[in-house]
Amino acid sequence: MTTPGEDDLRLDEETLKARVARDARRVTERDAQRLVKRERELDEKLKNLPEKLKKLVYQVKLLYELIRAYVDGSYREVPWASIAMAVAATVYFLSPIDLIPDAIPVIGMLDDVLVVRFTVSAIQSDLRTFCEWKGYDLAKYFD
């Protein structure tokens, strides 16, 4: 038995997963290049997140670093599908108008958190390989 609202959350999570997958199928290399130019905007949004979301901040930065390394050609050992999913999730994260608008205190970030977590989980193998290539501590990014 589920509690009231639990089915709604599950439905929203499935909707978010479907949206990221759909958006990822439409991502082009040009989209990835444009996203890399939005680093300042990404940094601004990340610096305003509460301390309890520190792992999310690290994960978003990791997604961005992977995309940037792919775009600049320094790291191409990743399937395009993983890059496209990372781009779709990062663009979603940056968008102030999404399933739950970011302007709504606290819950406005819920959909962003779900999208990032889903994406990190979906491409975790590629992200772990990238972290190892960069010499990063995996514990900082993964549970």
pLDDT, one tens digit per residue, over 88-131 is 999 999 987 766 666 666 666 788 889 999 999 999 999 999 99
pTM score above 0.95: no
Measuring CA to CA, which residue among 58, 72, 53, 51 is closest to residue 120?
A: 58
Lowest mean pLDDT among 1-10, 49-58, 65-74, 91-100: 1-10
Tokens of 6: 């639990």
The predicted pLDDT at position 93 comes to 92
The predicted pLDDT at position 104 comes to 66
Q: Judging by beta carbons within 10 Å of its beta carbon (0-12, 13-18, 19+), is residue 55 exposed, middle or buried?
A: middle
Mean pLDDT of 67-72: 98
Question: What is the pLDDT of the chain when averaged over all its residues?
Answer: 88
**In angstroms, how far is CA 32 from the centroid of its own chain?**
13
Tokens of 98: 């999404």
Tokens of 47: 């610096």
The predicted pLDDT at position 4 comes to 41
Residue 25, H or E segment: helix 6-26
The predicted pLDDT at position 128 comes to 98
pLDDT in tens, 23-42: 999 999 999 999 999 999 99
The predicted pLDDT at position 83 comes to 98
No. of H helices and E strands in the chain?
Answer: 7, 0
The predicted pLDDT at position 3 comes to 40
